[in-house]
Structure 1
């Protein structure tokens, strides 16, 4: 097991490019991570990383060793999955990611119920609105909104989520409601989700001629969708949000739908998982559990029922 732990540590250090980050990800100290790498290097008789006080880079030998090490780890994970499936006692740690709104409103509320059914499975939930790399971040399951770019992963669609443009009553009192797409574009402050690598500043709106991507602008951008919602509640502008994220605010009158004649195009919600020959049973159980509940929550929600 020590040698396998060393390989796992090497893979996380290689993928994250940082000893401290890998140690935090594995919940060990940086000293333990460094010792494991040193043991592996001594066993192999080569240096896997060039270390300086500021940087850590894989050597040529490290680059050669990584693909084989990854195959070893994948093979062990698949073997463990097969054993767990035969014994019908799924156990272990499940690393899951989701956008902030999805995680807080749909996944976290159901986590306790899942643990009640499967007490030997531990959940490590990471929430972020930025783009996630499943393999590089050591994730088992990644929930997302939109269209994934990585076709090498398996995808399971959950639902098409209704979206809505909305603003606070204070904003509408001060600025009025946009009565056209052109007014939204030219005369209103729009609050945009923006993170490194985000492709554009456009909102997809439905028109009589089909979907149209509308260039928007405003005083605030953020890579945290909940901050955008808070700014909208403070009267700072108009947001485009999945309905499930703002339904309570709309129901309570704290946010008001606008430009309803041109609603946003619905967005796909789905989850990604690795394309292994044998899917980890704990991942499959978690996906099945969450997909059923998330699909029901989204499917039961309609804007007209909130107004």
Structure 2
């Protein structure tokens, strides 16, 4: 019965076992993508195989989805062979707790990748199904679950391979500047003003190859180097970011709006500064026969992060944003996003 269920899920989702992948790792990927399909089905329709928009539950409460999804996932967790340490959470004890934690994570990622929309705080609704082109013959599907022979499930997303698709869109981004050019944009186009700094600050130290959270060091204002740097208030946990430009001993500043933190655009600045410094950030990648394992040393701006999330499964743990499994057919999409940020990929 277990083997039959796995075959059916693999067939419907187009998720196949990688060459050197353990059974547990394969089952974890399969459960994750099946959970995303079920989450969308609970909103879009009553059946995964033939869900119809006319059958959808409009403005479904998020607890309805999480409760029903966790029951499905609990059955999968009990049935399939997995490493239970894959679901590590302070509240995830036993199969029921793990299923609830996994359901919550999957729903969050499905909404994050624009496959469902959240309204009125706790209500979930459908979005129009649309296709976005990211490479030749490769289209990201946003919206309803599609069960077609040329549609492949990856993580919480689905991708369509198609030579003749005409009705597609091009994703637009607010900041469409390569990392190698972003320093010049900051220098010439940001609204610099005279400095009125008079507090304790941390500066982002350039050149460090490890985790970016460890790169913030105390600094005195007279020690700030020439050129553009980024500092933040020493007593602020996640805010108070300021760009500082020093020229001939004079400081000018740009106080960054909360949007830069909310959308993780701070990281675009950090990577651009390191690229300009000649010490680009390094993400590690390991090539397998039919997939890659990507290890990120820092966060990624939300625009690029959504695309990478749609191209991958979490690795090692169910909610890992820094270790991702990427199938070979989507690697060019991921590689393009990372390289454009000014990040170097190393083996």
TM-score (structure 1 length as normaliser) = 0.30
Higher RCO (CA 8 Å, separation ≥ 6 residues):
1
Structure (1 or 2) with the greater helix fraction? 1
TM-score (structure 2 length as normaliser) = 0.28
